[in-house]
Amino acid sequence: MIVDFHCHSDCSDGQLSPVELIKRAEQRNIQMLSITDHDTLDAYQQKIKTPIKIITGIEFSSQWNKVGIHVVGLNVDAKSKQLQQVVVAQKLQRLKRAEIIAKRLEKLGLKDALKTIQESQKKQFIGRPDFAQLLVNQGICTDFNQAFKKYLGAGKIGDVKNQWKKLDEVICAITQAGGVAVLAHPLYYQLTNSKLRRLLTDFKKAGGVGLEVVNGYQNPDKTGYLSKLCQEFEFKASIGSDFHSPNQWKKLGCDSRLIAELNPVWAEF
């Protein structure tokens, strides 16, 4: 079976609209799909006709100690008051963060960054990729990767700490909305093995249910390592492409056979 429980539309930092994304998923024979935009459920504002089983989802940014952690919420009730409260708070936080990033980037000679971004796009969502694009457009960076490496990635000037809700708060909101909380791309945070284990322990204690064992194209060694952790901590397994745009090397859809030996998070959807 081909499924995808992690991808982005243009309601956050993806390129395709929810309709285009679902069309693409149909062409790729995907049977179950969740659009998991960063901190927003806007992709679910319109009902889209499709034979694909659509699972309402979101990818929350959160804070665990000093580390930024992403939590995917799957099968949530988009009308949940508790969930909506967190979404509203995160939206506000995202705008405040954009103001701080813009201010910090002034040091590089980047003037009116926020205004430039806001005027160049219709949507309100602003993420670090928008600043990366601006740094490239203004010739300050040669490409996206360099922009993250030098200015926007973890520990750099454009990385604003303590902006998001705490890890346990977003897990709680997802759970209260009837959904399951999945730890997104566990190896992306570059934690030591012992720190990752501490994260998994805290994640589970706060009500986390799933581990994203596959994120996009992934080295089989990594899948093996995460599969072991998934079993050891008795998590359910989730898989997703983290697709953002068609010209990216990541493709929409994941083969469920990659986690054949684990309990899939989608079994009860």
Contacting residues toward ligand AMP, per CB under 6 A: 13, 38, 61, 127-129, 144-145, 148, 153, 244
- Residue 123 CB, shortest distance to ligand AMP, in Å, is 13
Among 70, 97, 104, 236, binds Mn ion (CB under 5 A): 70
Among Mn ion, ligand AMP, none, what does residue 104 contact (CB within 5–8 Å per kind)?
Answer: none
- Residue 38 CB, shortest distance to ligand AMP, in Å, is 5
10 binds Mn ion (CB under 5 A): no
End-to-end CA, the chain: 15
Q: How many CA atoms lie within 13 A of 229 on its CB side?
A: 27
37 binds Mn ion (CB under 5 A): no
Two tokens at 75? 């099968």
Of 167-186, binders to Mn ion (CB under 5 A) are: 184
Among Mn ion, ligand AMP, none, what does residue 148 contact (CB within 5–8 Å per kind)?
Answer: ligand AMP
* Tokens 């300050």 belong to residue: 140
* Tokens 């030098």 belong to residue: 150
Q: Measure the CA–CA gap between 25 and 82, rounded to whole angstroms.
A: 30
Give the residue with the Cβ less far from Mn ion, 144 or 231: 144
Q: Binding string, 196-235, against Mn ion, x = CB under 5 A?
A: ----------------------------------------
Q: What are phi and psi of 233, to 5 degrees?
A: -90, 5
How do 67-74 and 53-54 pair as beta strands? Answer: unpaired
What is the side-by-side strand order in the sheet with 57-64? 57-64, 67-74, 180-183, 210-215, 236-240
CA distances from 138 to 143, 164, 213 (A): 11, 29, 38
- The helix/strand/coil state of 93 is helix
Name the one range near Mn ion by CB under 5 A: 47-55, 57-65, 76-84, 229-237.
Answer: 57-65
Among ligand AMP, Mn ion, none, what does residue 236 contact (CB within 5–8 Å per kind)?
Answer: none
- Residue 144 CB, shortest distance to ligand AMP, in Å, is 5
Name the one range near Mn ion by CB under 5 A: 69-77, 113-121, 168-176, 259-267.
Answer: 69-77
CA distances from 219 to 122, 213, 222 (A): 37, 11, 5
Per CB under 5 A, residues contacting Mn ion are 13, 59, 70, 184, 242
